[in-house]
Structure 1
């Protein structure tokens, strides 16, 4: 487990927890279609990406030609280290 994956898991969990707590306390009603479902979708994507490593947004951005971040050695952050 990497720091980046754990951050995604924690962020997704907190987003989902905030929605659940708001539903329980009556501040929102998730049973009616609203923009809050977009928040739930983002939270679920963050949470699952932390475990699986699959991110739909990353696939789209790669298809658009964006490059992955590189480390100080110039290799991909997902590749094996060169230093």
Structure 2
């Protein structure tokens, strides 16, 4: 698995988890979904992605988007 796929999989997992928590636990968890969406938008504009930095430090090899 390369870095691009790891970041996308992590973002998708976090969105699904926040939606499930918002539905079953408290609607306040939907703010996590908002935060993830804003982070994805800023990463597409600035190229800065905290998740990519963490995965890179964990040894995941770079893909074409995060070199």
Which range, TM-score by smaller chain? Answer: 0.5 to 0.7
Structure 1 residue runs of 5 or longer lacking an equivalent are 1-32, 70-76
- Matched residue count: 41
User: As a proportion of its length, which structure holds more helix?
Assistant: 2
Aligned equivalent of 1:42? 36
* Larger RCO: 1 or 2 (CA < 8 Å, sep 6+): 2
| Higher alpha-carbon Rg | 1
TM-score normalized with structure 2 length = 0.53
Q: Distance in 1 between matches of 2:58 and 2:35?
A: 22
Moved over 4 A (4+): none
